[in-house]
Amino acid sequence: MLAYEEALRIVLDASVRMPAQECAISTCLGRVLAEPVISAVELPPFDNSAMDGFALSGGSSAVPAGSELNIEGEQAAGDGVSHARDGAWEIMTGARMPDGLDRVIPIEQTERTDNAQRIKLLADVEPGQNVRTAGSDVGRGETVIAAGTVLASQHLMLLAALGVPKVSVAARPRVAVLCTGRELVDDAATPLAAGQIRNSNGPFLAARLPLSGADVVHVDTVGDDAPAFESALRRALEAGAQIVVTTGAVSMGRYDFVPQALENIGASTLFHKVAIRPGKPLLFARLPNNALLFGLPGNPIAVAVGLRFFIEPALRVMLGLPPEAPRRVPLVAAYNKKPRLRFHLKTKLYIDAEGRLGAEILGGQESYRIRPLADANAWAIVPAEIEALPKGALVDVYGPSHLEFPLPYESVA
């Protein structure tokens, strides 16, 4: 049985980075930037007023309170270039500064004199006061978003402000999901017969894989026989799958046919069984067309662990992302486990009343128990060689996916 670290190395070595492709900013949310974005313009593109008020000039000195100035013009947002000689110009927030003026006094710090076209200043006005200068946010030629960034809504705001219509992103790996088991029922409206269960792995993988940076191109459920599995595998590859994820039929039972089926089609099994819990029977193979296959055990939490700690690291390589680094978080209670296996534990992160972060390993760690996974917001890792950890010991903690790390709950009970 392989150690986790050796199995992961095999997975990473077999994973190949995807090519870059252009993507319109209207559709690039959640995509991984393949090349840095370098601004061709300044932001703001011109000097403009930070508030409603009056634009003035005064050289290098402050214009003192008590000064009275004629109102010489008006500048609203959207107005083009204006040229000012002296006096005060009424100006609106965001309006371009008239040439020759270099500061703005808020309207509430002025008053009209008896002459409606004249104002009196109620405060000193320094050079540059309340002016947003051209390029003060982004300079021309500046790298504004680094390669490897997962594009979020704030990045789209910046790209739109800079007038960037499209960006270069990593192509999303195409993944197929094949669930095996004659006991599985896909349709939630179908009553269960004796011995049947509902398919929870298929919906989980179909939902989680896109959040991990992949496109799901095919989902199928097949019974417990090799010919049906081989047919489903052909359909997955015809759909363009570069990764095939299977659930079930990889252990040592009579109906665990996946290893033999892969041998029948000429696949190369790179490893089978890893010293982890849950998910020990996990299988990894290369198909004849060089697609990768992850054979996950059928228990739901073994599927979740296989996705999070084997498939998602492969996706990081394919998306051009660096290896993921865990957080180190103290345990809120002691924890004991069996030796020789690396444990992946459903966990809640908390912030206590003093603002300290802590990790609570949840009850119900068995691989069939889904409810604790729904309550969890993180995974805690206990290495194979460790049997006991005291309260306060630091553990490696990972978020629900490699592209998502949670906000902790407010307090610990």
DSSP 134-171: TTSSB-TT-EEE-TT-B--HHHHHHHHHHT--EEEEEP
Domain residue spans of the chain: 4-18+172-319, 21-41+142-170, 48-54+64-132, 327-398
Query: How far is the C-alpha of 26 from the C-alpha of 45, rounded, in Å?
Result: 23
DSSP classification of residue 310: I
Q: How far does CA 119 lie from the centroid of its chain?
A: 53
Beta bridge pairs of residue 49: 131
Reported as half-sphere exposure (CB side, CA atoms, 13 A), residue 269 has a value of 16
* Residue 114, pLDDT score: 83
* Residue 411, pLDDT score: 61
Q: Is the peptide bond before 288 cis (omega within 30 degrees of 0)?
A: no
* Residue 70, pLDDT score: 95
* Residue 225, pLDDT score: 87
Round the CA-based radius of gyration of the chain to a whole number and report it: 30
* Residue 115, pLDDT score: 82
Which fold is adopted by the domain 327-398? Beta-clip (2.40.340)
CA 275 vs CA 9, 54, 173, 263, 293: distances in Å: 14, 72, 27, 23, 19
Amino acid at 367: S
Under 8 Å between Cβ of 380 and 361: yes
Query: 97 in helix, strand or coil?
Result: coil
Out of 3.30.750.24, 3.40.50.1390, 3.40.980.10, 3.40.33.10, select the CATH number for domain 4-18+172-319: 3.40.980.10
* Residue 354, pLDDT score: 87
DSSP classification of residue 178: E
Give pTM, 2 decimals.
Answer: 0.90
CB-CB neighbours of 257 under 10 Å = 21
Kindly tell me the burial class for residue 145, based on how many C-beta atoms sit within 10 Å of its own C-beta (0-12, 13-18, 19 or more). Answer: buried
Which fold is adopted by the domain 48-54+64-132? Molybdopterin biosynthesis moeA protein; domain 3 (2.170.190)
Name residues of the chain where pLDDT drops below 70. 255, 410-413
State the CATH architecture for 21-41+142-170. Alpha-Beta Complex (3.90)
Number of helices and strands in the chain (H, E): 8, 28
